[in-house]
Amino acid sequence: MRHLIAAASVLALAACGMNGTDDTDEKEQSAVADHMSVEENGADAMHSNDPAPGEQASVDIPDPEDRPIMQAQVVLDRHGFGPGVIDGKMGMSTKNAIEGFQEANDLEVTGKLDEATKTALAQWNNIPATRVVTIPSDWGDRQYRDVPDSPAEQAKLQRLGYENLDERIAERFHTTIDTLKMLNPDGRPAGAKAAPASPSAASPTPTPTSTSSAGEDVGTQEQASYFTAGQQIRVPNIGADRIDGSSIRDKGWQATLQSLGVGTQQPHLAKIVVDKSGDWLKGYDKDGKLVVEFTVTSGSSHDPLPIGTWGITGISHNPSFSYDPDLFWDVPDSDAKQKLPPGPNGPVGVVWIDLTKEHYGIHGTSAPETIGRAQSHGCVRLTNWDAARLAQMVDTQTKVIFQA
């Protein structure tokens, strides 16, 4: 679990009441972005490779389990109905995703994988629930380190990046570290007969960090990881990850999309609606058709969601965060203001969508497994991968409605 959600501070709940976020410039983003092995389509080497319609996937290491819920989660995630973390379990986020798919396809909205929904999803039965990938060798070169709880200590860093390799892989495949371990018993892909390619969980390999040429993090701090660079592992078979690099001027943002397994082909939304009681965000096209739905965390008893109709003033990719204790009820006013660096483990994750309601926005999170569970400071919080998708779907013409 990331340190940001363990702290009894504003950062524990991915703070809102923003005093402002700032985009790092293109040169800085490129310097601090995760290094990826990029293929022609702009995605990383672990991108999905789907069979043609009606054909079966070519699988080198068959999965010994069917995993029907995970397969449904994978398909829903690919089509914009985000089930939150993909873990093969029927939780609230998966129920919301199913309801969104049912509504969009004129099915009875039950939130269950009933027969009508299974029939509608059956056209994608050739998409396996999981696939086996090789972790890029250069992922072992990345610098991982603990994110300190104190904003003052966070402010000393150049980037609030991933704490270890496992966390990075989990975010890349929209899942959790525990799910990855379940899919890779004894450190090898489920169904594999070869000897483990990495140490077991009982004897993790520390991945040291050191000073980078960009001055990223000074000093050495060891982080234990279950997985290792160059290792074959089984992961949820997320897709829709094709990236058109020619459409992205900011290469730092392209690296972020790569690290999240998020593609650039996204629908445009004319309106989004956030429902406080249902913990969901729905997106509609210009014809009023529902095209996406994500589970969100929105507001709390101390900082309720600002009900009403709002607009979007701008979108910040990989934003830094202006931390102002005066704006938060649960932070001592004696704390000093801080300028926190960008990164996936920052208080607003990889994206800030700024609203016409001052100090409020829609953003990512450092703790995807808490979406729909923990409270926020009034803003709307999504997983980093869903926030990155949403940021490509909206613009300053998109209407934003918050309802109870």
The residue among 2 and 144 whose pLDDT is bigger is 144
Encode pLDDT of 4-46 as tens digits. 333 323 333 334 655 444 444 443 443 434 444 444 689 999 9
Name the pLDDT band for 287 (thresholds 50, 70, 90).
very high
- CA-to-CA separations, 383 to 171, 182, 218, 346, 370, in angstroms, rounded: 9, 21, 29, 12, 9
Contact 129, 236 (CB under 8 A): yes
**Mean pLDDT, all residues of the chain:** 83
Encode pLDDT of 172-208 as tens digits. 999 999 999 999 999 999 999 866 455 544 444 444 4
Cα dihedral 103, 105, 111, 117, rounded to 10, equals 170
pTM: 0.83
3-state secondary structure of 234: strand
Residues 6 or more apart whose CB falls under 8 angstroms from that of 390 comprise 272, 281, 283, 292, 294, 351, 353, 362, 382
- CA-to-CA separations, 57 to 46, 64, 168, 243, 385, in angstroms, rounded: 16, 15, 26, 22, 25
**Average pLDDT rounded to a whole number, residues 349-378:** 85
Residues 6 or more apart whose CB falls under 8 angstroms from that of 53 comprise 123, 126
Q: What share of the chain is helix, strand, coil (3-state, %, to 5)?
A: 25, 20, 55
pLDDT of residue 25: 44
pLDDT of residue 195: 64
Check residue 115 and report its DSSP letter.
Answer: H
pLDDT of residue 299: 65
pLDDT of residue 304: 85
**Average pLDDT rounded to a whole number, residues 352-360:** 94
Q: Please give the Cα distance from 250 to 262 (Å, whole number).
A: 15
Q: Which of 142-156, 231-245, 258-272 has the lowest mean pLDDT?
A: 142-156
**Average pLDDT rounded to a whole number, residues 69-90:** 97
Check residue 283 and report its DSSP letter.
Answer: E
Residue 346 has pLDDT above 50, yes or no: yes
Name the pLDDT band for 54 (thresholds 50, 70, 90).
confident
pLDDT of residue 151: 86
Q: Which of 103-112, 194-203, 327-336, 356-365 has the highest mean pLDDT?
A: 103-112
**Average pLDDT rounded to a whole number, residues 243-257:** 94
Residue closest to 260 by CA, chosen among 386, 83, 81, 165: 386
Encode pLDDT of 296-318 as tens digits. 998 655 678 999 999 999 999 99
| In 258-303, beta strands by DSSP E | 271-275, 280-284, 290-295, 297-298
Residue closest to 242 by CA, chosen among 50, 384, 30: 50
**Radius of gyration for the chain, computed over Cα atoms and rounded to the nearest angstrom:** 20
3-state secondary structure of 280: strand
Name the pLDDT band for 378 (thresholds 50, 70, 90).
low
pLDDT of residue 208: 45
Residue 400 has pLDDT above 70, yes or no: yes
**Other residues' Cβ atoms within 10 Å of the Cβ of residue 71:** 22
Q: Please give the Cα distance from 379 to 365 (Å, whole number).
A: 11
Q: Please give the Cα distance from 106 to 109 (Å, whole number).
A: 8
- Token digits of residue 8: 């009894």
- 207: which strand partners? 223
Amino acid letter at 344?
P
pLDDT of residue 14: 36
Q: Which of 68-82, 151-165, 356-370 has the highest mean pLDDT?
A: 68-82
